[in-house]
Amino acid sequence: MTGIALFPSLSIYTMEPQHAQQHTNSSPGGNRPCNKRKEYLSWDEYFMSVAFLTAMRSKDPSTQVGACIVNADQRIVGVGYNGFPSGIPDEALPWDKTSPEGFLGTKYPYVCHAELNAVLNKNVESCRNCRIYCTLFPCCECAKVLIQSGIQTVVFASDKNRDEDVCKASKRLFELAKVQMVNYRPEFPELALSLRYPGDNVAAAPAVTARPLPTLTAPALESAADDRDAKEPRGKKGRGPNAGENGDVMLA
């Protein structure tokens, strides 16, 4: 990993694609050939893919964000995506980024971020010494939650809001709290996920009929929002405390 200085004492590391470890084509005893599959996902590919897959649960029409918390034993202990608090119908509050009614007419006061939900959804007592995989770099409010929960490493796919003050504040907080920041760079931009095995009888009536899902593509999840953001006046925009997805929130 390579350190990139953004502030006088701030370093963000770049995580290059990790390939499967090379092994000899023999068993430990040396008598039988080893036919282990070589095209399996690395841990980082797997956990970041889980974060992007989790993001597809988001109802936000602008940008869908996902997060996946992993412990030292490579076990997933929490996942989350951006959305309204539990018990509130998705149709009860606005999903708009701007509104004639002002701040209260937008989604920003109401949406919980993916990172916050991942911490709250944890299935262990503590997130201490865990790492979190985020599809988007956390805002400063989520940074506080991650630091307080004891997370030691933040692995993020996109840093497109890096020029916003709320993201600069996150980096400053992480640096002071000695939380490592790692920019994940995938070898391939997308992962095609098949929901059937070869040989399945596609003519047979399935027990559950699922609608077609789009290909899991990292750039695609943010490209549409980028296009919309480019057409909107920036004003005093950034990723604020309650920004629901990529943080384009009108700051008070």
* Pairing mode, strands 216-217 and 190-191: antiparallel
224-252: pLDDT as tens digits: 445 444 444 433 333 333 344 443 333 32
Name residues whose C-beta falls within 8 Å of residue 84's C-beta, 6 or more positions apart in sequence: 59, 90, 92, 93, 110, 111, 112
163 DSSP assignment: T
pLDDT digits (tens, 9 = 90+) for 44-103: 999 999 999 999 999 999 989 999 999 999 999 999 999 999 999 999 999 999 999 999
Q: Enumerate the β-bridge partners of residue 67.
A: 80, 134
Quick count: other Cβ atoms within 10 Å of Cβ 250?
17
Catalytic residues: 115
Strands 131-136 and 66-70: antiparallel
Question: From the centroid of its chain, how far is CA 159?
Answer: 11
